[in-house]
Amino acid sequence: MNSRTITQKSTVILALLLIFGVAVSCRLVESLTGGEKAGTVNSLWPDVPPFAGATKADLAIPLGVRLMLRAAMQGKINFIAFTTPSSAQEVKDFYTVDLMKSAGWTPNQKGCLGDTEDQKNEGAVCLYQRQDGDKKEGLAIIVAEDKKKKETNIFYARIDLTEPSPSPTK
């Protein structure tokens, strides 16, 4: 065997080890973050008004976003996604301050905030909170229009904002 053959075999073995390592690490990251659909619920919560005509979708939250959410919320977040043929503006207009108040949620001052203030919106973020005794929750409704598919994605994320009870000191 000459040195060139040994170098080629070493390169192939190194490449295979690298591919194997990447594959294993990806699976490890997925298991640590709970998988791409980690934290999802099977149906919209009864205290969140559903948008008429929207259907449940298995939209995955990108890995980077999942890692940030998990770290920031320490696993206290659940989410669900829907799609609708309606526009983002129609979804934004549906989640009015009055509607959400009647469902027990306190909206931010403007209700839903669109991606623009002076024209039709292709996306929006709606933030709400509620408190029931010591339990405090937040709700985010993220609306994004997909022009290619001619549909709008609606992501609902519910976050447990309850402060942990202070542990007794000795």
pLDDT per position as a tens digit, 138-165: 888 888 888 888 899 998 888 888 877 6
The 3-class secondary structure across the chain, one letter per residue, is CCHHHHHHHHHHHHHHHHHHHHHHHHHHHHHHHCCCCCCECCCCCCCCCCCCCCEEECCCCCHHHHHHHHHHHCCCEEEEEEEECCCHHHHHHHCCHHHHHHCCCEEEEEEEEECCCCCCCCEEEEEEEEEECCEEEEEEEEEEEECCCCEEEEEEEEEECCCCCCCCCC
Tell me, yes or no, if the pTM score tops 0.85.
no
CATH architecture of 37-160: 2-Layer Sandwich (3.30)
**Domain extents for the chain?**
1-33, 37-160
